[in-house]
Amino acid sequence: MSKINKLISANCGVIRPDSVEDYVKAGGYEGLKKAFTMKPEEIIGEVKKAKLLGRGGAAYPAGSKWEQLLEIPEFPKYIVINADEGEPGTFKDKILLSQDPLRVIEGMTIAGYVFNSHDGYIYIRGEYRAIQKVFRSAIDNAVKAGYLGQNILGTGFAFHIHIMTGAGAYVCGENSALLNSIEGKAGRPRIKPPHLAEVGLFLMPTLVNNVESIANIPTIVLEGGEKYLSYGTKDSGGTKLVCLSGNVVNRGVYEIPFGVSLRDIIYDPELGGGIPNGKKLKFFHLGGQSGPIGSQAQLDTLYCYKALRNAGLSVGSGAVVVMDEDVCVIDYLKGVTEFFIHESCGKCTPCREGNKQIYAILCKLSEGQATQDDMAVLRRLIDTMTNASFCGLGQSATVALNTCWKLFKAEFEDHLNQKCPAQVCFTEQGRGE
Interacting residue ranges for other proteins, rule: CB under 8 A = 85-91, 94, 125-130, 164-170, 181-188, 243-247, 251-253, 285, 289, 319, 321, 323-324, 327, 332, 335-336, 338-339, 342-343, 345, 431-432
Nearer to other proteins, 166 or 225 (CB): 166
Q: Cis ω on the peptide bond leading into residue 193 (within 30° of 0)? A: yes
Q: What is the DSSP letter of 413?
A: H
The separation between CA 296 and the C-alpha centre of its own chain, rounded to angstroms, equals: 24
Decide the pairing of beta strands 252-257 and 260-261. unpaired
Nearer to other proteins, 36 or 426 (CB): 426
Q: 162 phi and psi, to 5 degrees?
A: -115, 135
In the complex, least distance from residue 164 CB atom to other proteins, rounded to whole angstroms: 7
Closest of 371, 397, 209, 238 to residue 303, by C-alpha: 238
- The answer to whether 55 touches 230, Cβ cutoff 8 Å, is no
Nearer to other proteins, 107 or 288 (CB): 288
In the complex, least distance from residue 319 CB atom to other proteins, rounded to whole angstroms: 8
Provide the H-helix boundaries in 203-279. 211-223, 225-231, 262-267
In the complex, least distance from residue 409 CB atom to other proteins, rounded to whole angstroms: 21
In the complex, least distance from residue 177 CB atom to other proteins, rounded to whole angstroms: 10
- The answer to whether 308 touches 293, Cβ cutoff 8 Å, is no
Nearer to other proteins, 87 or 264 (CB): 87
Q: What's the half-sphere exposure (Cβ side, CA atoms, 13 Å) at 123? A: 32
235-246 burial by CB neighbour count: b if 16+ within 10 A, else e?
ebbbbbbbbbbb
Nearer to other proteins, 158 or 167 (CB): 167
Nearer to other proteins, 45 or 76 (CB): 76
Closest of 43, 210, 8 to residue 113, by C-alpha: 43
In the complex, least distance from residue 79 CB atom to other proteins, rounded to whole angstroms: 16
CA quadruple 100, 105, 106, 107: dihedral sign: positive
Say how far apart CA 191 and CA 135 lie, in whole Å: 32
Q: Which amino acid is at 12?
A: C
Residues making up the chain, counted from first to last: 433
In the complex, least distance from residue 145 CB atom to other proteins, rounded to whole angstroms: 26
Nearer to other proteins, 223 or 255 (CB): 255
In the complex, least distance from residue 133 CB atom to other proteins, rounded to whole angstroms: 9
In the complex, least distance from residue 334 CB atom to other proteins, rounded to whole angstroms: 9
In the complex, least distance from residue 424 CB atom to other proteins, rounded to whole angstroms: 11
Q: Cis ω on the peptide bond leading into residue 257 (within 30° of 0)? A: no
Nearer to other proteins, 65 or 188 (CB): 188
Q: What is the DSSP letter of 332?
A: H
Say how far apart CA 217 and CA 433 lie, in whole Å: 46
Nearer to other proteins, 250 or 395 (CB): 250
